[in-house]
Structure 1
């Protein structure tokens, strides 16, 4: 509860005037001035007593729409306040406490309410809008409700209700496909292209069994037999992609490990991470998000499951920089295996780091390197070792950077011609 001077401007003026009356009465010997001063003091005291002994039962519920909001978006907050009181209330003011990371005016005038003796609670809906500026979990409230006595002399600030959680997620930017032809890197189109020239009528169908992919359903055989049938010979594989978010504190600012949303470079990296996952999942890849040593940062997101992407984006509302892993851990991770697209997102990047990462591109169908703070000529050096590299420094366009790394082959061909 916030402490406040218990008198309004009117009440303060009454107290000052009473004091002046006492002084003047003592100097002039005026009984009238003394009586008037006593009257003003009594009025102030009665107002304070009436304000504090009048029972008011206040209930509060708070909702926001949407309940989860991305950085840069707005949410509408509705505070439902129910008041039960024996006496009518006078107008007051309200202010809902809003933490750093959310912008918007969350105060206003609280209307007068009638007596609740003849009915139930008198309810008021207080509505305001907030603009999300910082990722993380924020807590709205409590509500500070300022009430006044009927004479407007005294006031009381009451802390009402509990706090309500509002999740602010990173921005998930809509990015184009990683390549102009997804089958080139093992994506969704790969299964389609491998079947070109094959007649679906020549495929042997068998009854559907639990666990079979719905993509394998043979619709003509299903209609003919009046039961679900699937293609037996079709070789179905789940294309995989990996997104690596480098969280080592040494490659980010000091604030990146303190709390979500504090470091602009790390925020750009988190936005790039969830946006890359969204793009790859949309193209049919099963995506694993890991740290540079392979430690999973989320569950595997199945290809085409946009609802699972939403879950991952919400989970990344609280991720921060942590640990002190070297980029050499990524080299060891892929030393004996290969993968489809590999997207590495890191912070400060030096020429020595690029040399350490030089063996990795050979183990990926499409290795992408995104840095928020690359040193001079590091992007070109990384490209020479096989990476499709670009800078995603704060303030730059992630979409433009993604276009450069996703169509690098096309760009190189055009440059050569």
Structure 2
């Protein structure tokens, strides 16, 4: 703190002490030349400090990220554009950008020297660095700090340019293998027919616009994401459905999951698994509904092949947290009287009693997968007995292997 308040460098501090010594000696010994020399040193120090306040006034600091949403474990390039006004030429300095806990990277470098701007317009300095997402949520980059010194390195100044930039850190999307365990029952558009006749659609996949296509078939969401005109691709009249349930009841997780994203490792694993499973199913041709354990939709239904909608879902899930109530034991009511495709349930704490409450869902699904982050003793075995393809969702484990294990268990049961 003292170093920040003291404006002189080590060299400048030595010059100040020398000036003080000159004043004392001149007064005691009676050598006026020492007095003049001390006054000259003081004048130089004052000029050095003053020069720092006549240079590098930043009018604006703007940042852009590519990609604009940072995924956990993924890198993004940050470009910083600094508009600078300076009356005098300035030597090079250094800069650092303040990183929030949710991001990490080497946000520092050399701030270039600038010539006098008395006769010209504001100067623009472009800086760049790379950040990696480490914690899901909404974070802010900045402020930018610029460290500068006078040409003789007698004085220093650290300036904060206060504009901050909002950054979204989305959950990690992991590449999962397709559901190949029960191809005839759990396959996508090319493998299974719709279990709800009349509910099909002919607009599952967006393709580039071609001359002669009707303007009524423009796929606006895909057009906005890809910056090119896209139209709805005609498909067969079969829309296999899949349902992914993310249980957000706080009783299944730690209380930290209730307050902010990224606080509970088990819940973070479930969120990442949720978006990864949705991404896999959509690419396999399923129309996917993402629900909470009370049946409430956590996002709009996503058509098979609509990867742009998956990107929207991933960004939306950057702020998902746990909730206070617990509806998992009543989840089976949401599937009463209907038949659907794969149902994937992701939860935290799981007791054998919970498994018994979820058992009816198995009879309404072609492929029922249960992923539990904190299963109690015997819960997974009990789930397997009633027909679930149950796997431990280990926060320190490999989601790809766990997902593949669910399919392998499906094959084993099918052969029995």
| Structures share fold, TM-score greater than 0.5 | yes
Secondary structure of the 2:39 match is helix
In the alignment, which residue of structure 1 is the partner of 2:392? 391
The structure-2 alpha-carbon separation of the partners of 1:362 and 1:214, relative to structure 1 and needing over 3 Å to count, comes to: closer
Matched residues in 1 for 2:243 and 2:326: separation?
18
The structure-2 alpha-carbon separation of the partners of 1:193 and 1:359, relative to structure 1 and needing over 3 Å to count, comes to: closer
In the alignment, which residue of structure 2 is the partner of 1:258? 259
In the alignment, which residue of structure 2 is the partner of 1:309? 310
Tell whether 2:214 aligns with 1:213.
Answer: no
Deviates more, 1:320-329 or 1:114-123: 114-123
How far residue 215 of structure 1 moved from its aligned partner, in angstroms, is 8.3
Matched residues in 2 for 1:296 and 1:391: separation?
25
Tell whether 2:332 aligns with 1:331.
Answer: yes
In the alignment, which residue of structure 2 is the partner of 1:299? 300
The structure-2 alpha-carbon separation of the partners of 1:111 and 1:98, relative to structure 1 and needing over 3 Å to count, comes to: same
Asked if the contact 1:59/1:161 (under 8 Å) is kept, the reply is: no
Asked if the contact 2:186/2:366 (under 8 Å) is kept, the reply is: yes
Asked if the contact 2:58/2:82 (under 8 Å) is kept, the reply is: no
Deviates more, 1:104-113 or 1:9-18: 9-18
How far residue 252 of structure 1 moved from its aligned partner, in angstroms, is 1.0
Asked if the contact 1:137/1:167 (under 8 Å) is kept, the reply is: yes
In the alignment, which residue of structure 2 is the partner of 1:274? 275
The structure-2 alpha-carbon separation of the partners of 1:54 and 1:389, relative to structure 1 and needing over 3 Å to count, comes to: closer
Deviates more, 1:252-261 or 1:326-335: 326-335
Secondary structure of the 1:120 match is coil
Asked if the contact 1:183/1:193 (under 8 Å) is kept, the reply is: no
Matched residues in 2 for 1:338 and 1:190: separation?
17
The structure-2 alpha-carbon separation of the partners of 1:55 and 1:393, relative to structure 1 and needing over 3 Å to count, comes to: closer
Give TM-score, length-normalised by structure 2.
0.84
Deviates more, 1:354-363 or 1:62-71: 354-363
How far residue 368 of structure 1 moved from its aligned partner, in angstroms, is 0.8
In the alignment, which residue of structure 1 is the partner of 2:128? 127
Deviates more, 1:94-103 or 1:161-170: 161-170
1:62-73 paired onto structure 2 within 5 Å: 62-73=63-74
Matched residues in 1 for 2:204 and 2:153: separation?
72
Secondary structure of the 1:79 match is strand
Per-residue CA deviation, residues 257-288 of structure 1 (Å, 9 max, x unaligned), is 22212211111101110011111111221111
Q: Which runs of 5+ in 2 are unaligned?
A: 206-216, 218-234
Asked if the contact 2:201/2:239 (under 8 Å) is kept, the reply is: no
Matched residues in 2 for 1:293 and 1:16: separation?
73
How far residue 161 of structure 1 moved from its aligned partner, in angstroms, is 5.2
1:12-411 paired onto structure 2 within 5 Å: 12-54=13-55, 56-160=57-161, 162-180=163-181, 182-185=183-186, 187-190=188-191, 213=202, 236-411=237-412
Matched residues in 2 for 1:179 and 1:80: separation?
49
Deviates more, 1:123-132 or 1:237-246: 123-132
Secondary structure of the 1:76 match is strand
How far residue 29 of structure 1 moved from its aligned partner, in angstroms, is 4.1
Asked if the contact 1:71/1:132 (under 8 Å) is kept, the reply is: yes
Matched residues in 1 for 2:191 and 2:377: separation?
38
Q: Which entry has the higher C-alpha Rg, 1 or 2?
A: 1
Per-residue CA deviation, residues 222-275 of structure 1 (Å, 9 max, x unaligned), is xxxxxx9xxxxx982422111110111111122212221221111110111001
Q: Which runs of 5+ in 1 are unaligned?
A: 195-210, 217-227, 229-233
Asked if the contact 2:99/2:140 (under 8 Å) is kept, the reply is: yes
Secondary structure of the 1:278 match is helix
Matched residues in 1 for 2:50 and 2:372: separation?
64
The structure-2 alpha-carbon separation of the partners of 1:235 and 1:90, relative to structure 1 and needing over 3 Å to count, comes to: closer
Give TM-score, length-normalised by structure 1.
0.83
Deviates more, 1:372-381 or 1:311-320: 372-381
Asked if the contact 1:176/1:403 (under 8 Å) is kept, the reply is: yes
Q: How many residues align?
A: 382
Matched residues in 1 for 2:108 and 2:10: separation?
20
In the alignment, which residue of structure 2 is the partner of 1:231? none
Matched residues in 2 for 1:327 and 1:106: separation?
44
How far residue 183 of structure 1 moved from its aligned partner, in angstroms, is 4.2
Asked if the contact 1:241/1:339 (under 8 Å) is kept, the reply is: yes
Matched residues in 2 for 1:353 and 1:212: separation?
36
How far residue 172 of structure 1 moved from its aligned partner, in angstroms, is 1.3
Matched residues in 2 for 1:357 and 1:144: separation?
55
